[in-house]
Structure 1
Amino acid sequence: MNRLLPLLEEVRACRLCEPHLPLGPRPVVQAGESARLLIVGQAPGTRVHESGIPWNDPSGDRLRDWLQLDKAAFYDERRIAIIPMGFCYPGRGKGGDLPPRPECAPQWHELLVAELPEIRLTLLVGQYAQRYYLPERGKSLTDNVREYRRALAQGYFPLPHPSPRNRLWLRQRPWFEDEVVPALQAKVAQALM
């Protein structure tokens, strides 16, 4: 029995952390049973909250560039699932958007991933996804990304967040775009074959 569609309806109707959301709940998720690539990001920003389309912002533009995917391929739920750590916009803090709400991933991730049997590769975008999914706790985002081959053994590919706010991180680590991005592109192409 297809359990994914009713589960996605449940996720999209979720109100678990409604009292904490300044713009109210609007869970953003994309998935199809035949998806081969899973992208686990942080949480929607205001643009994504408004549109309801995941990665529909400058961060998404950079991510698609890293993956060498156009919008049509990226938003094809039959091939790519997008499940953020927090499904709704969490609000704004001192240094930018607040972290993803902690209720979402424990409530929904295991259930959703169980309904995605064809996933070949999971991209862990940002520190929150890496802390949740990678078995070696306490490593920095830089270490996780630099040592991406270790995570690949478990089907994960750790990435920095592609936010324009991370320009300095990228500039200080040219090895990311020189070495990691080409490996990422090859792995994504292989997963989507």
Structure 2
Amino acid sequence: MKQLLDTIRDCRLCEAHLPLGPRPVLAASRKSKVLVVGQAPGTKVHATGIPWNDASGRELRRWMGVDAELFYDPEVFGIVPMGFCYPGKGQGGDLPPRPECAPTWHGAILEQMPDVQLTLLIGQYAQRYYLGKEAKKNLTETVRHFTDYLPGFFPLVHPSPRNIRWQRKNPWFEEQVVPELKHRLAMII
């Protein structure tokens, strides 16, 4: 696994498209029990090289009921985004994850993670990639029907502060989804 992670961290596949240059950010171990598949690093994560090292990460850990020390233990949580590098800014926020990363690297990573019991699919890009035709008509419906994807996958909305309005419009998320997420993670950990 170490050799594969080193190879990924040296990746320059889409360098020409990255405004801040390549800096693949991920963490994993052969012993990882939970896989966190998000979108792509933001500027703060790019600067630090630490996945989910921002407001979104704090909110995600709150939903999960885990502290930073546990979250950053790769023997518990593997963190493999859809795009490993900061993709740049768009009109409504960061651009989508680069399309090269997941098809190039995810299969090889997953082959070396035999102990993963649950994969968190955070946001529409991860859900589309991993659920394919099984995903519902939109992110809200996919997350609302999260039990359809258990025990292997747990779809979530992105914990970005930009999604606070979504969370207010969908109180069932905090009432039903977050407690079940905490419960399932507690059973695994």
2:60 equivalent to 1:63: yes
Residue 84 of structure 2 corresponds to 87
Identity across the alignment (%)? 58
Distance 1:43 1:12 in 2: 14
SS of 1:54's partner is: coil
Residue 40 of structure 1 corresponds to 37
Correspondence list, 1:130-169, <5 A: 130-135=127-132, 136-137=134-135, 139-153=137-151, 155-169=152-166
Structure 1 unmatched runs, 5+: none
1:5 pairs with one of 2, 12, 33: 2
Q: Aligned AA for 1:66?
A: W
Q: Quick check: 2:146–2:154 contact (8 Å CA) kept in 1?
A: yes
Q: Aligned AA for 2:141?
A: D
Distance 2:136 2:108 in 1: 26
Residue 67 of structure 1: CA displacement? Answer: 0.3
Correspondence list, 1:115-134, <5 A: 115-134=112-131
Distance 1:189 1:107 in 2: 32
Residue 82 of structure 1: CA displacement? Answer: 0.1
Distance 2:93 2:73 in 1: 30
Residue 139 of structure 1: CA displacement? Answer: 2.4
Which whole-Å deviations, capped at 9, do the CAs of 1:82-109 have from their partners, x for residues lacking one?
0000000000000000000000000000
SS of 2:174's partner is: helix
Q: Quick check: 2:40–2:81 contact (8 Å CA) kept in 1?
A: yes
Structure 2 unmatched runs, 5+: none
Residue 138 of structure 1: CA displacement? Answer: 5.6
Which 4+ stretches in 1 moved above 2 angstroms?
Answer: none
SS of 2:105's partner is: helix
Residue 42 of structure 1: CA displacement? Answer: 0.1
Q: Aligned AA for 1:49?
A: H
Please report the TM-score for the alignment, with normalisation by the length of structure 1. 0.96
Residue 78 of structure 1: CA displacement? Answer: 1.1
Q: Aligned AA for 1:30?
A: A
Residue 169 of structure 2 corresponds to 172
RMSD of aligned Cα (Å): 0.8
Q: Quick check: 2:35–2:119 contact (8 Å CA) kept in 1?
A: yes
Residue 190 of structure 1: CA displacement? Answer: 1.3
SS of 1:124's partner is: strand
Please report the TM-score for the alignment, with normalisation by the length of structure 2. 0.98
Distance 1:76 1:86 in 2: 21
